């Protein structure tokens, strides 16, 4: 009986699983031709709002080979962050699941650096870079090209096995590997729950998001004031928004993550409405140090709290 040799790609995927990643796929480091026009039209329509950085480094954004000299492969990984734990006060302003624990950038990157070290030490000498929402890369498109899922009507990557509560990371390598087949199907079908449920109408057509209306953009990304016409439309969301994921049927069987860093901060879960109303900077710094909430900043959070309470 003869056995096929284990390939580098298989070993990389096995190591990724050992490091705790929920899924791993590999694609060629080539230009994302199918996403070029789509991104350009999105930018020209102004749907990126004040996120000027989205228009920068356009060629790098659509071509991962621009980020590493001689790049040949992109290793895409997914890390589940779903938690069934919720804030205990049902009237408290809502924090998105991704921000209930420690900052995901560090958690994903730390594991990716270990994966890169394994490849360089145990498999083959190579050069590579680690990315986790930290460079001009179309991460969802790359993950789909690597066979990990499709981009749903809510513009998020959806895995048929894992749903969409997922962080995405990449290794861009100058190493030739075996590549996965792109995920060719869009399994949203006729479902429009995400579009119908978005309280601000940010999903203006399937897989097309006007970020300037998205609650995540309004509460985190922009420094502008939240438009008064959206008063009462934020569904009590303070940091980010999970509504389009909560209603998605593909998330109905989401499993609890197994990442220690993503365990929700208990004090955060226990905060009551009065405690949020009197939130001061020292408490903010202590509670949110090392979390993704730091990106929004104290002033942004206080402004949003005022907007939600109707005092602003």
Segment 194-224, tens digit of pLDDT: 999 999 999 999 999 999 999 999 999 998 9
Q: What confidence category does residue 136 fall into, taking pLDDT thresholds of 50, 70 and 90? A: confident
Burial 90-119 (b: 16+ CB within 10 A, else e): eebbbbbbbbbbbbbbebbbebbebbbebb
Residue 312 confidence (pLDDT) above 80: no
Quick check: 138 and 292 in contact, CB under 8 A? no
pLDDT tens for 70-118 read 999 999 999 999 999 999 999 999 999 999 999 999 999 999 999 999 9
Inter-CA distances, 221 with 125, 174, 183, 226, 255, Å: 39, 33, 30, 11, 29
Length of the chain: 312
Percent of the chain whose predicted confidence (pLDDT) is above 90: 89
Q: What does the pLDDT average to over 39-54? A: 94
Give, to the nearest 10 degrees, the angle between helix 104-118 and helix 8-18: 140
The pLDDT of residue 6 is: 74
Q: Is 196 considered catalytic here?
A: no
Residue 283 confidence (pLDDT) above 90: yes
Per annotation, catalytic residue among 36, 89, 122, 133? 133
């Amino acid at each position: 009986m003869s056995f096929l040799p284990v390939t580098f790609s298989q070993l990389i995927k096995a190591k990724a699983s050992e490091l705790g990643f929920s899924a791993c796929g590999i694609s060629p480091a080539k230009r994302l031709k199918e996403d070029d026009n789509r991104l350009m039209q999105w930018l020209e329509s102004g749907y990126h709002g004040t996120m000027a950085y989205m228009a920068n480094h356009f060629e790098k954004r659509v071509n991962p080979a621009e980020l590493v000299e001689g790049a040949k492969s992109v290793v895409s990984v997914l890390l589940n962050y779903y938690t069934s734990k919720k804030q205990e006060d049902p009237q408290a302003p809502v924090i998105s699941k991704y921000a209930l624990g420690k900052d995901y950038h560090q958690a994903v990157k730390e594991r990716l650096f270990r994966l890169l070290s394994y490849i360089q030490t145990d498999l083959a000498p190579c050069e590579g870079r680690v990315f986790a929402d930290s460079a001009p890369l179309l991460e969802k498109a790359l993950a789909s090209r690597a066979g990990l899922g499709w981009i749903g009507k809510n513009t998020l990557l959806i895995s048929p096995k894992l749903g969409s509560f997922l962080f995405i990371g990449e290794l861009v390598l100058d190493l030739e590997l075996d590549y996965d087949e792109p995920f060719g199907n869009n399994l949203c079908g006729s479902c429009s729950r995400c579009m119908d449920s978005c309280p601000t109408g940010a999903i203006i057509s399937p897989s097309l998001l006007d970020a300037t209306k998205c609650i995540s953009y309004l509460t985190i990304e922009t420094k502008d004031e939240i438009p008064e016409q959206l008063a009462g439309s934020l569904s009590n969301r303070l940091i980010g928004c999970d509504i389009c994921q909560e209603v998605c049927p593909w998330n109905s069987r989401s499993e609890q993550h197994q990442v220690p860093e993503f365990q929700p901060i208990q004090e955060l879960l226990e905060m009551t409405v009065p405690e949020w109303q009197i939130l001061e900077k020292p408490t903010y710094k202590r509670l949110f140090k090392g979390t993704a909430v730091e990106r929004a900043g104290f002033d942004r959070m206080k402004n949003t709290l005022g907007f939600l309470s109707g005092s602003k």
